[in-house]
Structure formats: structure tokens, C-alpha cells
Amino acid sequence: MVAMSDNRLGRSKHDEEPVVAPTSQAYSAAKRLYAKVVFYPTLAWNFTLGRILRIRHWWDYIDDHVIVGAYPFVRDVPGLAAEGVKAVVNTCEEYLGPQEAYKAYGIEQFHMPTTDFTHPSLQNVCDAVEFVQRHVAENQTVYIHCKAGRARSATVAMCWLIKYRGLSIPDAQAKLLQARSHINPRLGDRPVVKQFAEQIQQ
């Protein structure tokens, strides 16, 4: 019997299936899984540094009406309200926030879910910045947070400083570090920050 060739189909029997690169969805799923795995250990580490050893502040003012900080527990809400906080930007994908406590104290939350150890999207940053400014314009204090108050939340704060305080990227980075020394010192290198700064200059 003579073996039939695949040439009739326009391909050789020696042809191989193309190598498929990992999709962006698969990469995002892997990052999301990693964030879930390390969530409790890193939260415990942040809690140890901030609440037990008190090496880090749980939150810091970066402007008269803007605070950048870490994961707010239910028990933190009365203290936030006492600081005059009327609005919260929650950048955590992993945490919906103490919503019932916010309602009880008349605090409005803007939730922009962002996977830990990743950058927020440009659209989310733009929306969050306008949310912050709407409340600041009414002399209300806004609390911007992620899990540790170092990167996701600070990215939003940096972009707000750039647009509404007229700061350059380096100056915004310096102001954030002066107010909260453990903020990621390379926020200005994030593509979303550069894109935001370029967008508002157009």
C-alpha cells in the first residue's frame, strides 16, 4: 500500500503546528494567581511593619485633602471619618473595601480593581483622578489606597499631582517620597504615568 501524502491539502507531512505564544489573557491570569497566593503573607508583613513595629505609617497626607495609605480595615473607618475623609479610591482587585462601614459614615468609594504588582490602566487612572479632584474641589478629603500604599494607590496620587498641582513627573515623585518614604521610588517610570502626563499636555 502506498502512503498518501498531505500535499493534496497544500501542506507537507513534515509541516509542524505553529508555536503559539502565551496570550495576554494567560499572562494576566498568571499574575492574578500569583497575587492571590501572596496576598495574606504580604498583608501580614504590611500589618507587622505598620501596626505592630510601627516602622511605617498606615497612611500619610500627600496634600491638604489627599491621603495615600494601606488597606483600610473596618475598624479604620471611624478614624478616616474623623480625618474628614468623604471619599475613597480603592485600587485593590483583591478587596472590595468595608462598604457597609463606608455607607454608615457617608463615605463614597470609587473602586478601580487592579491586580497587585501590576499597573492600573490609563482609563482607570483618568477616572480616579477626576473622582479625587471632584471631592477635593469641595474641600473634602480623599483616601487613596491599595494593599500597602506604595504603588497602585501612589500611581493615582502621582497622576493627580501632575494634573491638578501642575507638577512634573520627577517633582511629583519627590513630593510623594517626602510625604511617604516607602512609596515605590520608580513610579515615574511606569508607562501609564508617562502616558497620562503626555495626554494632559496635548
Q: Where are the beta strands (DSSP E) in the chain?
A: 59-63, 66-69, 85-92, 108-114, 141-145
**C-alpha span between 187 and 120 (Å, rounded):** 12
- What is the 8-class DSSP label of residue 52? I
Number of residues assigned to the chain: 202
Side chain identity at 164, as an amino acid letter? Answer: Y
The angle subtended at Cα 96 by Cα 189 and Cα 89, nearest 5°, is: 45
Q: Known catalytic residue: 126?
A: no
Provide the angle, in degrees to the nearest 10, between the axes of the packed helices 191-201 and 152-164.
Answer: 20
Kindly state the cell numbers that stand for 76: 479604620
Catalytic residue among 92, 126, 146, 159: 146
The C-alpha torsion from 201 through 108 and 89 to 198, rounded to 10°, is -10
Catalytic residues, which ones? 146
